[in-house]
Chain A
């Protein structure tokens, strides 16, 4: 099926609350014994000896894994076109000339083709859950950083990676999140805070909620803006208080700070891929430096190499203070900017992406920098670790409505999302 890297079934228990649930898993999330390659030629053949915790929790309740979905290699992309050699980029099920969005493009594509008895486990670092959800017309929920264990997630950026569900409905996302979330001894960065039953937020309505519309997010394509403003009107009709708010710092510096930090971390995470112990390898010739450089040069895709070079630069002595260390501080300021608004507002909203899902040919014309700039609306909540959800809005070519909450406010964003899309 369009969107899969590997179509294979795996189930550990046949009885359980979720025995009717089919789960597709992003290629970069480990399923025991199933190739988990983050869609990179570098990891073809890697079959993990363990399940990711998020996968395990679903399997424990009887769910069945139906395969690994294709993604941008190691998460590096916003359109799911940067798939590694040996993998096939998915096409948008609503229009095969258009991209699915990335990096969890395969997740969204499969979700769009299947029913409500299916959920996909996606992953987001800078927007990779909500972007493809928006482009493919499905629901994508990205929880607070640390809410869901990253054990078994092949790292992109350790301080920004999050696993979250992509599904046909808000209800399915809420149910899945309730199962996979929670502290995990295998991942010390999980929050030691009890998990709620998120389904209790379905149907609570939006009356009395105070919603902040991010004014800088209105600088988007006309079709997107129209659908967005229509949805705002709908929220007002349903009894929410809606006001305009501003996120100047995040808008101006969010993308840059995000990429500097993410790539600094990513470039160290990818160092381990060198043709020993697992993954692709070559005949053992030459010195170790020659061997490593050969394997990495051959099996990493172009965007992967580009990001490794950028990340290596950002933490190099002489530049480290101005780039890597600076970005760590800018993140603090971005979080402060969101927190100030959350003192007054229950949720903040914006369109998910600034455009309609572009045609594949259009994306291929974009420079790397232009591609990075597409993340303008999603990097903010992602670098700040805030939970966010995208639901389809308007009609026709898919576009998404993004709802952002403060840390650990998954309930509130689900509440608003359900009101708009059920």
Chain B
């Protein structure tokens, strides 16, 4: 697998991170060494091993369909300045 600046830029695009040119260079280097180290886990024989979603066995935790009180729209909007009336303001989509 080719770990190069192209890959770094692709990953940055997928995860919506603006990177400076220096960052691209620096991250490519650390990505190379770290991913190389990580790939070691492929040596482990996991032929008949199940995946563990959590480290302890936890299953079947659900709740009743009982409504609880909502936040007021003031409370919902309280953590941002990007709002208009009762709406959140976000960037445009096109």
Contact A367 B30, beta carbon cutoff 8 Å: yes
With contacts A146-B56, A287-B94 known, is A308 near B44, CB below 8 A? Answer: no
- Among the stretches A76-84, A185-193, A201-209, the one at the interface with B is A185-193
CA distance A291 to B49 in the complex (A): 43
Interface 1/0s, chain A 331-346, versus B by CB < 8 A? Answer: 1110100000000000
Identify the interface centre among B11, B41, B75: most chain A CB within 10 Å of its CB: B41
CB contact list, B15-47 vs A, under 8 A: 15-19, 23, 27, 30-31, 33-35, 37-44, 46
Q: Which of A160, A274, A298, A332 contacts B51 (CB 8 A)?
A: A332
Is A385 positioned at the interface, with any CB of B under 8 Å from its CB?
A: yes
Contact B40 A312, beta carbon cutoff 8 Å: no
With contacts A145-B55, A326-B44 known, is A281 near B80, CB below 8 A? Answer: yes
Is A309 positioned at the interface, with any CB of B under 8 Å from its CB?
A: yes
Q: Which of B12, B38, B41, B55 contacts A309 (CB 8 A)?
A: B12
Q: Which of B40, B46, B79 contacts A277 (CB 8 A)?
A: B79
Total number of A-B contacts with CB less than 8 angstroms? 183
A363 to chain B, nearest CB (A): 15
Residue of A nearest to B48 (CB): A329
With contacts A144-B56, A253-B41 known, is A284 near B15, CB below 8 A? Answer: no
Identify the interface centre among B15, B44, B82: most chain A CB within 10 Å of its CB: B15
A382 to chain B, nearest CB (A): 9
* Chain B residues positioned under 8 Å from A47 (CB to CB): 79
Contact B14 A277, beta carbon cutoff 8 Å: no
Q: Which of B42, B55, B94 contacts A160 (CB 8 A)?
A: B55
Interface 1/0s, chain A 274-289, versus B by CB < 8 A? Answer: 1111110100111111
A53 to chain B, nearest CB (A): 15
Contact A276 B63, beta carbon cutoff 8 Å: no
Q: Which of B35, B49, B58, B90 contacts A333 (CB 8 A)?
A: B49
* Chain B residues positioned under 8 Å from A195 (CB to CB): none
CA distance A253 to B37 in the complex (A): 10
CA distance A99 to B33 in the complex (A): 25
CA distance A323 to B31 in the complex (A): 14
CA distance A339 to B23 in the complex (A): 43
With contacts A319-B1, A330-B46 known, is A276 near B92, CB below 8 A? Answer: no
* Chain B residues positioned under 8 Å from A407 (CB to CB): 55-56
A51 to chain B, nearest CB (A): 15
Is A267 positioned at the interface, with any CB of B under 8 Å from its CB?
A: yes
Is A256 positioned at the interface, with any CB of B under 8 Å from its CB?
A: yes
Residue of B nearest to A267 (CB): B15
Contact A49 B52, beta carbon cutoff 8 Å: no
* Chain A residues positioned under 8 Å from B58 (CB to CB): 146, 188-189, 191
Mostly, the A contact residues are helix
A342 to chain B, nearest CB (A): 13
CB contact list, B49-65 vs A, under 8 A: 49-56, 58, 61-63
Is A313 positioned at the interface, with any CB of B under 8 Å from its CB?
A: yes
Is A302 positioned at the interface, with any CB of B under 8 Å from its CB?
A: yes
With contacts A367-B30, A372-B34 known, is A288 near B91, CB below 8 A? Answer: yes
Q: Which of A278, A288, A385, A386 contacts B79 (CB 8 A)?
A: A278
With contacts A276-B80, A309-B27, A331-B52 known, is A296 near B46, CB below 8 A? Answer: no
B58 to chain A, nearest CB (A): 6
Which A residues fall within an 8 A CB radius of B?
45-47, 49, 144-146, 159-160, 185, 188-189, 191-192, 249, 252-253, 256-257, 259-260, 267, 271, 274-279, 281, 284-294, 296-298, 300, 302, 305-306, 308-310, 312-314, 316, 319, 322-323, 325-333, 335, 367-369, 372, 383-386, 407
9 pairs of residues in contact across A and B, judged by CB atoms under 8 Å: A191-B56, A191-B58, A259-B38, A275-B82, A284-B82, A284-B92, A293-B17, A316-B11, A369-B30
**16 new A-B contacts at CB < 8 Å, known A46-B79, A284-B92:** A259-B38, A271-B15, A275-B82, A278-B79, A281-B80, A286-B91, A287-B92, A288-B92, A292-B16, A293-B13, A296-B18, A310-B35, A329-B44, A329-B50, A368-B33, A407-B56
Which B residues fall within an 8 A CB radius of A?
1, 7-8, 11-19, 23, 27, 30-31, 33-35, 37-44, 46, 49-56, 58, 61-63, 71, 75, 78-82, 88-94
